[in-house]
Each structure stands twice: as structure tokens, then as C-alpha cells.
Chains A and B, each alone.
Chain A
Amino acid sequence: MQKEVNLEKVRRDAEEAYLQGGYHDSEAVVHAIRINIEPAMPEAVVAAALGFSCGVGESQCMVGPVAGGVIALGYFFGRDFPTTPTDPKSQRTLELANEIHEDFKKKHKVLCCHVHEKGLTIGSPEHKNQCASFAGDVAVKTAEIIAREKGLTLT
């Protein structure tokens, strides 16, 4: 794991992966976290984000980048064996996921892709720039949480 994280680079990497790199919005967030914080993260974790893009299987439900952020958090803080519903590790992961959700809501009011896309032409520069900026925002918030919880230095 990297000891230092540059949040502006995290934002730029997420946005560029989406706009120019062939990544979908949800994948772009996990990718930016992977290359900036934990290059040892299996690529399968980035792959796990794909189905969430464009609001969960293109159904315009929850915005893809938030799912990408929650996937990245799960990688660092989640559990891979059964415990109990009140396991502090599990509860803490849920709190951190909630923090990403609430942060997005505070900045953009709702999580629903169909609300954000209303009036936009899918695939237009305006639409793509909005998705890229959502991916950048969530990647930065996710990186901030990981850095805070793991004691990494922000640069």
C-alpha cells in the first residue's frame, strides 16, 4: 500500500479513465483507488464494479461511481468470513459506505442516475462530463476515507 496519496491525482485519474481510458464510471473509481493507493489490489475488484455502471445495469438507478467507491471501501475494510450482525468491523464498513453515500447526496442532492440525466442527451459531452465529475468526486472522497482510516499522508 502507498503511504502517500495525492487527491488531485486520484481525481484526475478517475476522470481520465472514464473520459479517455475506456473505463465505465463505476470501474473508473476503483481503478483510480487501485493505482494510487493499492496497486496489489486484484484486477477482479475493478471488474466487480462493471455491472453497476449507468445506474445498475443501465437502469438509471443509483449512480455508478458511488458503487465503485463502496466496492473500494469493502476491499480495504470489509469481511470475507461470516461473523455476527453486530461485528464492529462490519458496522464500521457500513458507516464508511454511508459516509460516501451521504457525501454524494450533500453535493448532488440525489443518488438517482435518472434524475441527474434528465434533459441530457446520453453520450453528449455534457452527459459525459457530468459522469466524469461524479467519478472524480467519489474517488476523492473514497481516497480521503481510506487515507484517514489507514493513516496515509495526503499530498
Chain B
Amino acid sequence: MKKEVSIKQVHWDAEEVFRIGGFYCSEAIVSSVRKNIDPEMPAELVSVASGFPVGVGKSKCLCGAVSGAMICLGYFFGRRDPASSDDSQARKCMELAHELQESFRQNHKGTLCCHKHVKGMDMASAEHKAQCVAFTGEMARKTAEIIVRELGLKPVYEGA
């Protein structure tokens, strides 16, 4: 785990790998958080994000960027052994998940529904891509801010 985290770099890396087409939104967020905050995160955590893009398997349901952020929070604050751990740890993780999805709702029409955000857009258009790139960067940033705050890491605001 890194002790210092450039929030801007987390934001920029997530946007860039999606912009150039290497990863989709949810994968881009986990990949950037892994690279910039915890390189020891198993690479499988990036893979688990692969089914969520375009609102879960292109069904335009839950926004993929929000899903990528949730996977990161679960990795850092979830439970390794739910059967034996007490529920207070889960409650804390759920509070952080709630905070994260709420920040997305406040910024974007009060909804996590992909189909509402892409309504009227051509899915192949630059307008659609730009919106999803921005959602990806925003969720990567918010995820990093929560992780840094909760784990007492040092945020660095220069760079990228």
C-alpha cells in the first residue's frame, strides 16, 4: 500500500485507459486504484469488474463507473471472512458505499441508471464517450478520496 496518493493521478489514469480504449469504465477505475494506491491488490480484482460496463453487460442498468468504485471499496473495507467477522466492519463499508453512490446521484440527476444518462445519445458518439470518461474519472477520484481519508494516507494534489 502506498503511503502517499496523488488523487489527480488516480483520476487521470482511469480516464486515460478508458479514453484510449484499453479498458471499459469499471475496469479502468479498479486498475487505476490498484496502480496508484495498492499495487499488491490481486489482478483478479480488475477482472471482476469486466462484466459491469455499459450498465452491467450492456443492459444499461447500474452505471459501470459506480460498480468499479464499489469493487474498490469492497476490496479495501469489505470482509475476508463474513461468517466470523462482526457486522460493524460491514456496516462501515456499507456507509462508505452509500456515501459514494450518493455523491454520484447528487452530481448526476439523482440516478445511477445508465439508460437515463444515455437517453437520446448515440452510443457510438463522442458525446456518449466523453460523458462516460468523465463519470469514470469522477468515480475514481471519489473512491481514492474515501480510501485516503479512511486509511490515513497522505493525499498529494500535484502531478498528472
Contact = CB atoms under 8 A, between A and B. Distances in A.
Interface of A: 17, 21-24, 27, 31, 41-54, 56-59, 61-62, 66-67, 70-75, 77-85, 90, 93-102, 111
Given A57-B99, A67-B67, A51 B78 contact: yes
Interface string B56-74: 1111011000110111011
Contacts of A21: 82-83
10 contacts: A21-B83, A27-B78, A27-B82, A41-B44, A47-B75, A50-B79, A56-B62, A62-B56, A85-B24, A97-B52
B100 A57 contact: yes
Interface in B68-116: 69-71, 73-75, 77-85, 87, 90, 93-94, 96-102, 105, 112-113
A61 B101 contact: yes
B71 A71 contact: yes
Given A48-B78, A62-B62, A80-B44, 7 more contacts: A48-B48, A59-B105, A74-B51, A75-B48, A77-B47, A97-B57, A111-B62
Contacts of A71: 48, 51, 71
Contacts of B49: 74, 78
A43 B84 CA distance: 13
A98 B61 CA distance: 10
B159 interface: no
Given A53-B94, A57-B94, A100 B82 contact: no
Contacts of B62: 56, 61-62, 67, 111
Contacts of B44: 41-42, 44-45, 75, 80
Contact of A82 (B17, B57, B87, B101): B17
Contacts of B66: 56
B51 A51 contact: no
B56 A98 contact: yes
Q: Which of B69, B71, B85 gathers the greatest number of chain A CB atoms within 10 Å?
A: B71
Contacts, number: 195
B47 A80 contact: yes
Contacts of A111: 61-62
A45 B56 contact: no
A50 B113 CA distance: 20
Contacts of A99: 57
B57 A98 contact: yes
Given A59-B102, A70-B51, A80-B44, A47 B79 contact: yes
A93 B50 CA distance: 7
A73 B51 contact: yes
A66 B59 CA distance: 12
Contact of B74 (A51, A79, A83, A98): A51
B22 to A, nearest CB: 3
